[in-house]
Structure 1
């Protein structure tokens, strides 16, 4: 558990060939935690292309059963083919984490 307060966190994932990140401003408090905003999506790819990068807050406030979360998503293409990425930042129970899959239930 983290201390109550306002935080800014940079979530990132680096594979060497495909690297991506975004930032989130959020609040941890004794009640339900919440996300103020997520912004600044950044993608770097070596030997390929990407498009449609965006970041958005999907659930602003934590509930009794679910975490608040934001998501970054984009599509990319490298020599082996095309794919897409969903990248999550979650906050709840006075803690936070970055994940590649959404597990927002408490």
Structure 2
């Protein structure tokens, strides 16, 4: 749905998607795949390799795990790297790279 068609719509008619609904995250280290489990996949050199890993992961865990929506508030994913229990977390890695980049630039 483009922005122009949303202008005349009420809030109830608009489709609101979470900001971090994308499973693929590209960082300076490579591509990560966000999972619902306690570990994210990656880094991979390209998105195709990440996608293949996701397909293998889904086949491996299909029908085994329950969907976990995580901590969300008003459609926004809330993530605190200081209290994250995930191993190899893509979002924590992104935050770490950003903090290193900011320290270098300071």
**Under TM normalisation by the shorter chain, which class is it?**
under 0.3
Structure number with larger C-alpha Rg: 2
Greater helix content:
2
For normalisation by structure 2, the TM-score amounts to 0.25
